[in-house]
Structure 1
Amino acid sequence: MSADPKTLSAGASDDAPLVQIEDLCVTFTGGRKPVQAVSGVTLSVPRGQVVALIGESGSGKSVTLRTLLRLHPERRTKMSGRVLVGGRDVLGMGSRELCDYRGKTTSMIFQEPLLALDPVYPVGAQIIESIRRHDPSVSQAQAHQRALALFEQVRIPSPERRLQAYPHEMSGGMRQRAMIALALACRPQLLLADEPTTALDATVQIQILLLLRELQRELGLSVIFVTHDIGAAVEVADRVAVMYGGRIVEEGTVRELIHRPQHPYTQALLGSRSHGAMTPGQRLQTIGGSPPDLANLPAGCSFAERCSRASDLCRQAQPEAREVVHSGSLGHRVRCFHAGPATPAAPLPPVGEEPHALA
C-alpha cells in the first residue's frame, strides 16, 4: 500500500521540526479593504520545545496561532504559503481530516476559558466528549477516569467534585487549569497557548506558567506560546519570535534575544519593562506612535515611523530576514537594515545570567 502523499515531507522525519511554517500570508477580506494580518511568516518549532510569539496587539500573533487550527472564517480569509504539522499540510486539509486533526494532533488553550468552555455542560462532560470523539473505543467509564486523572495532573483540588462543575462555578485560575486539561485530553503533539495568563492576577499567572512548563517537559510537548509579556516568554520559552506589523522581525533563543537584541523594536520592548535596577523616579521607556494599520501597510519597514534609526531606505523597501553572526548564535535572525546593539542612550534593563527565574 502506498503512503498518503500528504504525510510525505521533510516534516515527517523525527529529526525535523514538528511545525514548519513557510511564507505564510493571511488576509481578511470581509471589510471594505483587505487586511493583511500576517505577511510572509516563516517559523519552525522543534519537537519538545517552546517557541514564544511576542509583540503588541495587532502584530499577527494570534492570527498565526489560529491558522494552525484553521479557525478563521474560510469565506472571508485568504491564506497562502505552507503550514506543516508533523508532515501534514494543514492548509490543504479537508473538513473531515481537519476535525480529526484538531484536538488530537494540535490543541489550543484559549485566552478566556469562560468563553471557550460551553456554559451549559459540566466541564468534565466536555472533556469526556472530546476524549470519546477522537477515540471511540474508550468507554464512558474509561473517559471519566482519564478526565479525573487530567484534573489531578493540572492540580485542580477536589477533582471528582470539580468534574461536575459548570464553568461559571470555577474561579479564573481553576477555569484556566480546566482549559489546559481539555487541551491535553487527546494527548496532542502540539499545544497552542493564546495568552493563557492575561486575565489572571499575578500570583495565579505564575502558577499557570509553572504548570505549563512542567507539563510541557513531562509530556514532551511542542508549544507555541503567544504573549504580550516578554517576561512570561522568558520564563517558559526556548526560542522567541518577535512580531510587528504581521511579520517576524527578530527570532532567536531566549538568551540571544535578551542579551543581544538586534532589532530596534525588540530593544524597545525590553526597555519598556520594569526591573529591579531602576532608581526611584526613573521613568520607563516608551515606544512613540502607534502600530501600523494592517489595511494600509507602508511599502517599507512597518516600524520605520516609530524607529529612531530609520532612513529613507527603511521607508522605501522591506528588509529581508538575515542571520546575525556572533559567538554561540543559534539561528538568530533579524529583519532590519540597521540592526545592531542598543546605543548607550537607550540602555537595556539588566537581565540575570539565568533567564528562567522561576526555575
Structure 2
Amino acid sequence: MPIMIRTIINDLKSRSQRVVQDASSMDSVSDGLLQSCWAHMPQELLREVLIRIEASEDTWPQRKSVVACAGVCRSWRHITKEIVKIPQFSSMITFPISVKQPGPREHLLQCFIKRNRATQTYHLYLSLTTLFDDGKFLLSARKCRHPAGTDYMISLDSNDGSKGSNNHVGKLRSNFVGTKFTIYDDQLPHPGAKVTKSRSTRLANLKQVSPKVPTGNYPVAHISYELNVLGSRGPRRMHCAMDTIPASAIEPGGIAPTQTEFSLKNLDMFPSFSFSRSKSNDEENSVSGHLGDQNDGVLVLKNKAPRWHEPLQCWCLNFHGRVTIASVKNFQLAASPENGPAGPEHDKIILQFGKVGKDVFTMDYRYPLSAFQAFAICLSSFDTKIACE
C-alpha cells in the first residue's frame, strides 16, 4: 500500500501541474479534472488512500502531496476537503484559503516576516524549523506611497503584488501621519459586509475580474496608535477594532467568521485550491453569517503594557524566547474587556510580533485572527509614525 500511494502521488503531482499550466479558463480546468484517469477509483479505496496521505504528510514541505491530491480530479477534491480540517482544528495551513481562516484556539501558530528594504516588500512564512532561513511562504506585501498616506498591497504571490492581480487578497492603508490604519479584504469576509468604493475598486471593475463576484474593498479592521508623549523613549500604544469579529469569539464556544473559498478571480490562478469546508467541519463550527445577528460589540485588541526594566534601562515584555532584539516595533495584543468584566480569555496573547534579526521578525497568532489579519496588523508596525515617535 505505501508503494502504491507513493506512485499515485508522483503521478498526481505531474498531472496537477499540467492541468494548472494548460488551463486558460475555468471550463478547461473542469474538463481536465473530469478526465483524470483517477476519477473512477472506487470510493472506499479512494477515501482510504487519501486518509493515509493526510495522516502521513503532516508537515511541510511533504504536505504538498495533500495539495496535489486535491487538484487532480473532482472526486479527489470532494473527499480531500472532507478530510483536511481548517487551521482552527488542525493547527496546519494547507491550502491558500487557510491564510484567511482563524488560527488554532489552544496555542499560537508560529510564523516569521522577512523585510526587504531595497524593494519595500515583506514576506510572511510559516515556521518549519528553529532556523529562519527556511519556511513555508504564505503572503507578501508591497509598500506603495501616495500623497494621502501609504498602502501595503497583500498578495498570495511572492513576486506579484499589483492591485489588479489575481493574487491580490487585500491591503492595509494608513493615514498621512501613520497613526491610523484600515485593513481591507478584497472579498466579502461574511454575508452582509459593506463595500467601500475606491480607485483600486474602479480599476478592478474595469478589468471585469469576475462578473459574478463583487470586487471591492471590504474594511475588516481599524488600527490606531495613540500619541506618545515620551517619543522614542516610550512604548507604543495600539488599539485594534476587528470590525468583522464579535467580542464573544474569544469566549468558549464563540464563533469567528471563516472564509471558505476564494472568489472566482482568485480561482483563475489557483483552480485546484477552491476549497469550501466539509460538512463535518460546518457542524463543529458554524461559518459566519451570524455576525449580523449578534448584539455584542466587535472584538477590540490592545497591546499589553510593558514594564520598565531598570538594569537594562528598557521596556520589557515576556515573549517566551520568540523575540531577541529590543525594538519599538515589538508588541503583544490581547482582547480588551471593553464590553464587560475581564475574564481569563482576556489574558491570552492573540498576536505577538517582535524583532529577531536586522530584517527578520517573528509573528505568532491564534484564534480568532487569521494569518492575513495578523500580517496586516504587523505591517502597521513597520510604517513611519510622525506623531508617535
Q: Shorter-chain TM-score: which interval?
A: under 0.3
Tell me which protein shows more strand as a share of its residues: 2
Which fold has the larger relative contact order, with Cα–Cα distance below 8 Å and residues 6 or more apart in sequence? 1
TM superposition score normalised by structure 1: 0.24
TM superposition score normalised by structure 2: 0.23
